[in-house]
Structure 1
């Protein structure tokens, strides 16, 4: 488990982290979200012992990262897909990491198989595509079979196949009981991948929730399709719902949930061909929650409406 307590980090007059506190638990993929300059990368670097906090602490498994004797056996991280030397082969890169942490060569072969790079194990990294380098980075993160995995923007520049692979890999790691923390700006992808979200702005935690609770909290309406839409609209209005009609004849009901609509339609013997609860997207919620924490806006953004 990752525990961040009252973490503050200053770079001269700049306050990058301001008493930031959160926990990341095992068994789920946690998304780490925030605008540019919010402090996400700084927080990850402090967790990994690359930066020292001004005050507060960041613990992994109850210890500071720099006090873990063989850290790759406990924490795997990808902060930069280009970290591997381009002149080394994939196997040699991972073998160096393994040797430094007392890990046998058999594990190198195993992680190359897991990330789909066994067929190019002896090719130089300089000839790899971005997607292949991302896979190699994750192989390095997994070389010590760690319980904790941290990834910073792992889907940047990937094609659809690479994105799907990373998504399934992260969910598989969480299903194995590992702690997975993922930072990304791609809201559509985060909505498909994460179970829990941490949202920060200006170095502070401004929101924390599960994706399921977020969908319930920001529920908007229910889209209903029926060949007897007019009759169903009267039934739903009688239940206190506000009902409008779309251009293609579907109903949009506010104030009642999908099960209530289904039960009411069944009781009135009205067929229903479609019943779709709709809620705000993760992007909608993220933009709403971070609207006061964005440091850089274009003129059009300041006047635009969501």
Structure 2
């Protein structure tokens, strides 16, 4: 498990993290979300001992990263897809990591196969696309077969097939009981990848919940299609719903769910041609939740509402 406790980080007069606390548990893919400048990368760097906190702590398996004797065997991380030396081949990059951590070359071959780079293993990294470098970084993270995986914006540069691959890979790792933390600012991608979300803004935790609960909380209304809309509207109003007619003869009901509408229509012998529960998109929800925590925005963005 990863435990972040009252983590605070200042850079001069800038407060990057403000008493941030959360836990990341094994067995699920956890999304670490927030706008640019929210403190995501700073948090990950403190977890990996690259930055020192002003106060508080970040623990991996009840230890600070610096106290882990062979960290690559316990924590796999990708913070920068361009970390590999461009003059090395993919195989030699991983072989160097493996040798310095007592890992055999057969494991290098295995992870290159796992991330789909076996056919280019002996090509130099300078010729790799961003998506290929992302895959190489993930190969390095998996090299020591660690129980904890930390990835910062891992879908950058991946094509559609690569994005599908990283989704299935992360879910497979979580299903094996590993702890998987995925940092991003893209709610649209996280919506189909993660099980649990941590949303931060200006260095503070704004929300911690499951993706399912986040979806359920923001159901907005039900669109009703019926030739008896005029008769159905007062019935729904009597159930406490707010009902509005659409231009094409439908009804929009707020405050009552689709099964209740269907039961009420059936009791009154009113035919129903369609019941469509409608929710805010998760991207809309995310933008609304983080609107006060965005660091940089244009005049139009400041005056527009999510």
TM-score, length-scaled by structure 2? 0.92
* Offset of residue 161 of structure 1: 2.3
Residue 53 of structure 1 aligns with which residue?
Answer: 53
Q: Distance in 2 between the 1:181 and 1:284 partners?
A: 23
Residue 112 of structure 2 aligns with which residue?
Answer: 112
The 3 A distance-change label for structure 1 pair 146 and 267 is farther
Is 1:156 aligned to 2:156, yes or no? yes
Equivalent residues in 2 for 1:18-37, closer than 5 Å: 18-37=18-37
Residue 90 of structure 2 aligns with which residue?
Answer: 90
Residue 180 of structure 1 aligns with which residue?
Answer: 180
Residue 287 of structure 1 aligns with which residue?
Answer: 287
* Offset of residue 105 of structure 1: 1.7
Could you tell me which runs of 5 or more consecutive residues in structure 1 were left unpaired when the two chains were aligned.
none
The 3 A distance-change label for structure 1 pair 215 and 101 is same
Q: Distance in 2 between the 1:251 and 1:293 partners?
A: 36
* Offset of residue 276 of structure 1: 2.8
RMSD, aligned α-carbons: 2.0
Equivalent position SS for 1:59: strand
Residue 7 of structure 2 aligns with which residue?
Answer: 7
* Offset of residue 269 of structure 1: 4.8
Residue 204 of structure 1 aligns with which residue?
Answer: 204
Q: Distance in 2 between the 1:229 and 1:169 partners?
A: 48
Is 1:299 aligned to 2:299, yes or no? yes
Q: How many residues align?
A: 306
The 3 A distance-change label for structure 1 pair 265 and 111 is farther
CA displacement, residues 93-146 of structure 1 (integer Å, 9 cap, x when unaligned): 112112222222222222122211122222221111111111111111111111
Q: Distance in 2 between the 1:295 and 1:155 partners?
A: 23
Residue 100 of structure 2 aligns with which residue?
Answer: 100
Could you tell me which runs of 5 or more consecutive residues in structure 2 were left unpaired when the two chains were aligned.
none
Q: Distance in 1 between the 2:99 and 2:266 partners?
A: 66
Residue 253 of structure 1 aligns with which residue?
Answer: 253
Q: Distance in 1 between the 2:172 and 2:261 partners?
A: 36
* Offset of residue 168 of structure 1: 2.2
Residue 132 of structure 2 aligns with which residue?
Answer: 132
Contact 2:94 2:140 in 1 (8 A): yes
Q: Which moved more, 1:164-173 or 1:17-26?
A: 164-173
* Offset of residue 193 of structure 1: 1.3
Equivalent position SS for 1:193: coil
TM-score, length-scaled by structure 1? 0.92
Equivalent residues in 2 for 1:161-172, closer than 5 Å: 161-172=161-172
